[in-house]
Chains A and B, each alone.
Chain A
Amino acid sequence: MYPNKKGRFGIFGGRFAPETLMAALSELETAYRKVQKDKTFQKELNGYLSDYAGRPTALYYAKRLTEHFKGARIYLKREDLLHTGAHKINNTLGQVLLAKRMNKKRIIAETGAGQHGVATATAAALLGFKCEVYMGEVDMLRQRLNVERMRLLGTKVIPVKSGTRTLKDAVNETFRDWVTNVKNTYYVLGSVVGPHPYPLMVRNFQSVIGRETKQQILRKEGKFPDALVACVGGGSNSIGLFHPFFHHQNVKFIGVEAAGRGLKTGKHAATLVAGKKGVLHGSFSELLQDENGQVHPTHSVAAGLDYPGVGPEHSYYKSIGRAKYVAVTDREALKAFHLLSEIEGIIPALESAHALAYLAKFAPKLSSNEIIVLCLSGRGDKDLGEVIKDYD
Chain B
Amino acid sequence: MINRIDEKFQELKKGGRKALIFYLTVGYPDMVTFMKLVTALENFGADLIELGVPFSDPVADGLTIQRTSEVALKQKINLKKSFLLAKELSKKSNIPLVFMSYYNPIYHYGLQKFAHDCKKTGISGVIIPDLPPEEATPLKNILKQDNVNLIFLIAPTSPQERMRMISKESQGFIYYVSLTGVTGAREKLSGTIKSSLHKIYRFTKKPICVGFGISKPSQAREIGKYSDGIIIGSALLNIVERYKNKRGLIKEVEKFTSEIKVALRS
Q: A257-282, CB under 8 A of B: which get 1 and which 0?
A: 00000000000000000001111111
For A183, the chain B residues whose CB sits under 8 A away are 157, 180
A279 to B158, CA, bound (A): 23
| Chain B residue nearest in CB terms to A278 | B104
Does A42 count as interface, using CB distance less than 8 angstroms?
no
Q: A191-210, CB under 8 A of B: which get 1 and which 0?
A: 00000000000000000000
In the complex, the answer to whether B157 meets A172 with C-beta atoms within 8 Å is no
In the complex, the answer to whether A22 meets B158 with C-beta atoms within 8 Å is yes
Taking a contact as CB atoms closer than 8 A, the residue among A6, A182, A281 that contacts B157 in the complex is A182
Does A176 count as interface, using CB distance less than 8 angstroms?
yes
For A294, the chain B residues whose CB sits under 8 A away are 55-56, 73, 78, 105
| Chain B residue nearest in CB terms to A20 | B155
Residues in B98-134 with C-beta less than 8 Å from chain A:
102-109, 129-132, 134
Question: How many residue pairs at the A-B interface have CB separations less than 8 Å?
Answer: 115
Say yes or no: A19-B135 contact (C-beta < 8 A), given A278-B107, A293-B104.
no
A16 to B57, CA, bound (A): 13
In the complex, the answer to whether A18 meets B59 with C-beta atoms within 8 Å is yes
A175 to B129, CA, bound (A): 13
In the complex, the answer to whether B130 meets A18 with C-beta atoms within 8 Å is yes
For A287, the chain B residues whose CB sits under 8 A away are 104
Taking a contact as CB atoms closer than 8 A, the residue among A23, A162, A282 that contacts B66 in the complex is A162
A294 to B155, CA, bound (A): 26
Say how far A7's CB is from chain B's closest CB, in angstroms: 10
Does A292 count as interface, using CB distance less than 8 angstroms?
yes
In the complex, the answer to whether B135 meets A15 with C-beta atoms within 8 Å is yes
Does B45 count as interface, using CB distance less than 8 angstroms?
no
Taking a contact as CB atoms closer than 8 A, the residue among B73, B132, B177 that contacts A17 in the complex is B132
Taking a contact as CB atoms closer than 8 A, the residue among A179, A279, A281, A293 that contacts B60 in the complex is A179
Say how far A276's CB is from chain B's closest CB, in angstroms: 8
| Chain B residue nearest in CB terms to A22 | B132
For B182, the chain A residues whose CB sits under 8 A away are 176, 179-180
Say how far B112's CB is from chain A's closest CB, in angstroms: 15
Say yes or no: A19-B132 contact (C-beta < 8 A), given A294-B55, A294-B56.
yes
Total chain B interface residues with beta-carbon distance under 8 A? 41
Does A295 count as interface, using CB distance less than 8 angstroms?
yes
For A19, the chain B residues whose CB sits under 8 A away are 129, 132, 152-155, 157-158, 162, 166, 177
Does B79 count as interface, using CB distance less than 8 angstroms?
yes
Does B159 count as interface, using CB distance less than 8 angstroms?
yes
A289 to B104, CA, bound (A): 9
Taking a contact as CB atoms closer than 8 A, the residue among B105, B107, B162, B181 that contacts A179 in the complex is B181
Residues in A138-183 with C-beta less than 8 Å from chain B:
162-163, 168-169, 172, 175-176, 179-183
In the complex, the answer to whether B59 meets A179 with C-beta atoms within 8 Å is yes
Say how far A251's CB is from chain B's closest CB, in angstroms: 33
Residues in B39-79 with C-beta less than 8 Å from chain A:
55-60, 62, 66, 70, 73, 78-79
For A172, the chain B residues whose CB sits under 8 A away are 57-59
For B162, the chain A residues whose CB sits under 8 A away are 19, 22-23
| Chain A residue nearest in CB terms to B61 | A176
Taking a contact as CB atoms closer than 8 A, the residue among A18, A168, A176, A280 that contacts B104 in the complex is A280
For B78, the chain A residues whose CB sits under 8 A away are 292, 294
Give the 6 A-B residue pairs with the shortest CB-CB distance, closest first: A293-B108, A293-B105, A292-B78, A180-B181, A20-B155, A294-B56
